[in-house]
Amino acid sequence: MRTVSTLDELRDSRLSLDGTVGLVPTMGFLHDGHLSLIRRARDECKRVVVSIFVNPTQFGPKEDLAKYPRDLERDFRLIEPFTDLVWTPAPESMYPTGYQTWVEVEAVTRPLEGAMRPGHFKGVTTVVAKLFNAVQPHKAYFGQKDAQQAAVIRRMVRDLNFPIEIVVCPTQREADGLAMSSRNVYLDTEQRKAATVLFHSLSAARELYESGERDAATVREKMKDVLASEPLAEPQYVSCADYDTLEELNEIKGKALLSMAVFIGKTRLIDNFVLG
Amino acid sequence: MRTVSTLDELRDSRLSLDGTVGLVPTMGFLHDGHLSLIRRARDECKRVVVSIFVNPTQFGPKEDLAKYPRDLERDFRLIEPFTDLVWTPAPESMYPTGYQTWVEVEAVTRPLEGAMRPGHFKGVTTVVAKLFNAVQPHKAYFGQKDAQQAAVIRRMVRDLNFPIEIVVCPTQREADGLAMSSRNVYLDTEQRKAATVLFHSLSAARELYESGERDAATVREKMKDVLASEPLAEPQYVSCADYDTLEELNEIKGKALLSMAVFIGKTRLIDNFVLG
């Protein structure tokens, strides 16, 4: 596994990677969710590139950029068996003085995370476009855990003609159902238990759907009811939306996305299930 | 020369182009200015791709999209000796229903053309990003005639890590100095004569600079004076700016751009000289 930080080093190393190249963009502090993406890339591509970059432009001014967990040495150890090239760009090289170019996706970034985190997806799409142009992968791997991010990236790739296949991989979960996230380390013991309520809420809604319910409002109410049963949980949004456009549904038909953002203490967690 | 229109056809044909690929993006109705770009690409690259696309998103609602001159058969005849592949995408394939992604460059798009044509550069940078991603050229060729466009594209390429070298080629002129432009066909005989005032104005300013003048206001005044001598000319802006940032200068030092937009009747013409 080769480790590079500057764009020139990356480009030199990329030239020596023959065959299909898979990119797994990450912000580091890797868990089994990331590793499932990297293993999938390993299965499908001759070469695997992992980027590790805590992208400042996708954090709001009141968000957790400064305290976002980092452990580069541990990350390297974890990915070493599966990875050909790891790129850890410095923030000042990604956004040097005079930087002024942004990629923005419109409608699909507006609801859900986009509504709660203004500017978040502008930072995501811009950095992903930069990573794509720098690494020139054939395939890129994202987690279903960040469902809206995956929908936004799919839209960007189609709209801007990126010659890249986007592979979205299933959410990895702890034994009790909690979706894996680098932010789970913020939770204390009591909060950690309470955090399973997202999974239980989504599971209850999916059961309702599987029993034949197609009214989206009823399904949303079920999710809210279960969340309300957990005193430590403060829901921010609960959604039952079209899988591609993320517009809220009246009636569930075709592929749909159940999703939610919930505060457990000061920690903001998201999770989702796909229906259909 | 192979001619393709759909993105799939383009990608198939691109795969068969070996070696260095040069792209010349155009809106068609080609003149010697375009041909100079194509010849330069032919000299520098093993393969030459020309795109012909009158990009709707870079025209304002009151601009000349509908009447923009087109003659595809003539264009094909002109470029055939120098071109491997020509791509003529349809507007509805570049911007299908649900299209929602934009590339925007900030500071350098604000003055000059950007101030007069709101949204123009957002259309330009978006379509050029799409062309770059589709064609995947090693080099791309633009004319110095559209000086701000060249500065904006250079900035976009640097900021978004496009692995593409931008080559900016000198403005081609008619015998009397008028910069070549597809829009020159809008001029009647009298206007065509009057249109040389842009060249004369820029030439007078450059003479002043070459005689040692470094005060930008004095140089701008000289350009305005010469333009005022032509009754058919209505200047829209006259600028003496930094070559890279396009910020107006007080004192001329380093590389600078003299530029102007002038109405001759209803036809809007632009021209520029580089100093230093």
Alpha carbon of B57: minimum distance to chain A alpha carbons (Å):
14
At B179, list the tokens: 């910069």
Q: How many CB pairs under 8 A join A and B?
A: 78
Please report the pLDDT score of residue B250 as a whole number.
98
Beta carbons of A101 and B134 less than 8 Å apart? no
Please report the pLDDT score of residue B29 as a whole number.
96
Given B11, B106, B160, which is nearest A133 (Cβ)? B160
Cα B242 from chain centre? 18
Please report the pLDDT score of residue B9 as a whole number.
98
Nearest Cα to A204, choosing from A186, A223, A185? Answer: A223
Q: A residues 26-45 near B, CB within 8 Å? A: none
Inter-residue contact B134 to B10 (CB < 8 Å):
yes
The Cα–Cα gap between B276 and B274 comes to 7
The SS3 call for residue A20 is coil
The Cα–Cα gap between A123 and A132 comes to 14
Q: Is B115 on the interface with A (CB under 8 A)?
A: no
Nearest Cα to B136, choosing from B114, B164, B155? Answer: B164
Q: Spell out the domain ranges in chain B.
A: 2-169, 182-271
The CATH architecture one would assign to domain B182-271 is 2-Layer Sandwich (3.30)
Beta carbons of A133 and B161 less than 8 Å apart? yes
Q: Is B129 on the interface with A (CB under 8 A)?
A: yes
Give the residue on A whose Cα is nearest the Cα of B157.
A101
Please report the pLDDT score of residue B217 as a whole number.
98
- Average pLDDT by stretches of 10, chain B with 276 residues: 98 97 98 98 98 97 94 98 98 97 98 97 98 98 98 98 98 98 96 98 98 98 98 98 98 97 98 98
Inter-residue contact A200 to A223 (CB < 8 Å):
no
Report ipTM for this prediction: 0.96
Mutate which of B160, B164, B242, B246 to test chain A, going by most A C-beta atoms within 10 A? B160
Q: B residues 90-109 near A, CB within 8 Å? A: 98-108
Please report the pLDDT score of residue B72 as a whole number.
97
The whole-model pTM stands at 0.97
B120 included as an active-site residue: no
Partners of residue A102 in chain B, C-beta under 8 Å: 103-104, 106
Q: What is the pLDDT of residues B211-235, one digit of tens each?
A: 999 999 999 999 999 999 999 999 9
Give the residue on B whose Cα is nearest the Cα of A127.
B160
Nearest Cα to A205, choosing from A113, A148, A274? Answer: A274
Partners of residue A9 in chain B, C-beta under 8 Å: none
Given B105, B130, B134, which is nearest A101 (Cβ)? B105
At A86, list the tokens: 């790891």
At B36, list the tokens: 């100079």
CATH no., domain A182-275 = 3.30.1300.10
At A15, list the tokens: 């030239």
Give the residue on B whose Cα is nearest the Cα of A95.
B159
Superfamily of domain A2-169: HUPs (3.40.50.620)
Q: What is the pLDDT along chain A (276 residues), one digit of tens a residue?
A: 999 999 999 999 999 999 999 999 999 999 999 999 999 999 999 999 999 999 999 999 999 999 999 999 999 999 999 999 999 999 999 999 999 999 999 999 999 999 999 999 999 999 999 999 999 999 999 999 999 999 999 999 999 999 999 999 999 999 999 999 999 999 999 999 999 999 999 999 999 999 999 999 999 999 999 999 999 999 999 999 999 999 999 999 999 999 999 999 999 999 999 999
Mutate which of A100, A110, A244, A247 to test chain B, going by most B C-beta atoms within 10 A? A100
The Cα–Cα gap between A186 and A192 comes to 9
The Cα–Cα gap between B21 and B8 comes to 18
Beta carbons of A101 and B155 less than 8 Å apart? yes
Partners of residue B8 in chain A, C-beta under 8 Å: none
Alpha carbon of A119: minimum distance to chain B alpha carbons (Å):
14
Partners of residue B138 in chain A, C-beta under 8 Å: none
Domains A2-169 and A182-275 share a fold: no
